[in-house]
Amino acid sequence: MTGATLFVVATPLGNLGDLSLRAAELLRRVPVVAAEDTRRVRGLLAHLGARPKVLSYHAHSPERRAALIVEILAGGRDVALVTDAGTPGVSDPGEILVAQAREAGIPVVPIPGPSAVTTALSASGLPAGRYLFLGFAPRRGRDRDTWLKAATSAPWTVVMFESAVRVAALLTDLGEVAGDARRVVVARELTKLHEEIRAGTLGELAREFGARETRGEITIVLAGSGSAAAEAPTPVDPAARAAELLRDGLSRKDAAHQLAAELGLPRNTAYRMVMALQ
């Protein structure tokens, strides 16, 4: 066991104000930062007035790079692992380095903070007591078919990532498997200047995003197959409902009151609808 620690540090999705005080203090004092994008993290470090040594560590880094970072840790220097945005290891580089550090007996300490997964969930309005995170969809073939089946058959809310240029295609494919009426939320550019959160059905949002140019980071939250929000509610025909209430034996006055309460209609409007059926 060494005295050095690997810190897994969550960084802002876009708004620098979301960086925790603990993370800011850590980045100011740690001697080495392993970053997915060194140019991007240098901007954050400059904002903090921090001057650690910055090493590149990303999804395509050679195996030797993780071993080098472990050597730095074994030599007694702390290292902070950061990604472009959000929490390392969640569809971002990190798990291999963390595993190797643990194997070497080096403590790993998480510095929690922003995550696109939980941020999108919190604003989706869909059940979040249990959810399934599936990351990015495979591009094509049998792997994509298997992934789509898993995403649409899960009984819980499902969170996924997708690139802006492929979001319409993914929504369309999900709709072909789950049905166009399945509820979905598309969150774009979370916490940034052009943040946008769109809620609707798979069919509606597939058409919307298919008809526009989309940019930025995308997080999709899909209603689970067992959720009450899995399908869009069937619109109620006010006239048909008014006729049903009269057939049930309600007076015209009571039917009008009931219709207004159920559908949120003005009482005068509901009364006119009932009277028109007499």
The three-state DSSP-derived secondary structure of 208-223 is HHHCCCCCCEEEEEEC
Residue 107 DSSP class: -
Sequence-ordered strand ranges (E) for the chain: 6-9, 32-35, 53-56, 79-82, 108-111, 131-136, 157-163, 183-188, 196-201, 217-222
CATH fold of 117-222: 3.30.950
Contact by Cβ (8 Å): 218, 161: yes
List all residues 6 or more positions away from 254 whose beta carbon is below 8 Å from its beta carbon: 245
Tokens linked to 54: 């910055």
Q: What is the pTM of this model?
A: 0.78
pLDDT by residue for the chain (278 residues), tens only, comes to 457 999 999 999 999 999 999 999 999 999 999 999 999 999 999 999 999 999 999 988 888 899 999 999 999 999 999 998 999 988 777 889 999 999 999 999 999 999 999 999 999 999 999 999 999 999 989 999 999 999 999 999 999 999 999 999 999 999 999 999 999 999 999 999 999 999 999 999 999 999 999 999 999 999 999 876 665 555 678 888 888 888 888 888 888 888 877 776 777 888 888 888 86
Q: Which amino acid appears at position 80 of this protein? A: A
**Location of structure tokens 């999804």:** 59
Select from 156, 150, 153, 154 the least CA-distant residue to 127.
Answer: 156
Cα 184 from Cα 38, distance rounded (Å):
35
The hierarchical CATH code for the domain 6-114 is 3.40.1010.10
